[in-house]
Amino acid sequence: MFTEHTPDPAAFSAYIDKMKVLNIEDQQITDEQMRSITANTMVIVGDADGVKPEHAVTMFRLLGGGDEEAATTGMLQKIPRARLMILPAMSHLGISGEADVLAPMVTAFLDDVPPVTPELF
């Protein structure tokens, strides 16, 4: 799935190397550092993850997530800069086995596709 968006084989190796370092070293990222991330970001955790759901929500909010207008109107007016996904009955390692669930959402995120708002009214 990685190569569909980044066909360079060296990029995948670099990604794996970075993930190994990230998982070995303790991450101490301040709120200020989190707010300074300018890239669109998707936070993905499991509800049985070492990363607690409340921490994922905090990261999501620090990254600009949580559209208050959408919360009050029920409709998104713009593509959100940050997205949050909490998978049920899922551990941190189990997430990697959920490609069928993750692929459509991650692909839409990477392709900058707005979430669909159903025609209800």
Digit-coded pLDDT (tens) for 78-101: 778 899 999 999 998 888 888 889
Number of compact structural domains in the chain: 1
Q: Is residue 118 in a domain?
A: no
Q: Is residue 116 in a domain?
A: no
Q: Is residue 10 in a domain?
A: yes
Q: Is residue 120 in a domain?
A: no
What domain range is 50 assigned to? 2-110
Q: Is residue 121 in a domain?
A: no
Mean pLDDT of 9-20: 85
Q: Is residue 46 in a domain?
A: yes
Given a contact cutoff of 8 angstroms between Cβ atoms, the answer to whether 77 and 93 are in contact is no
Mean pLDDT of 46-62: 93
One DSSP character per residue, 6-47 reads ---HHHHHHHHHHHHHHHHSPP---HHHHHT--S-EEEEEET
Digit-coded pLDDT (tens) for 68-81: 777 777 777 777 88
Mean pLDDT across the chain: 85
In whole angstroms, give the CA distance from residue 102 to residue 2: 12
Q: Is residue 18 in a domain?
A: yes
Percentage above 70 pLDDT, the chain: 95
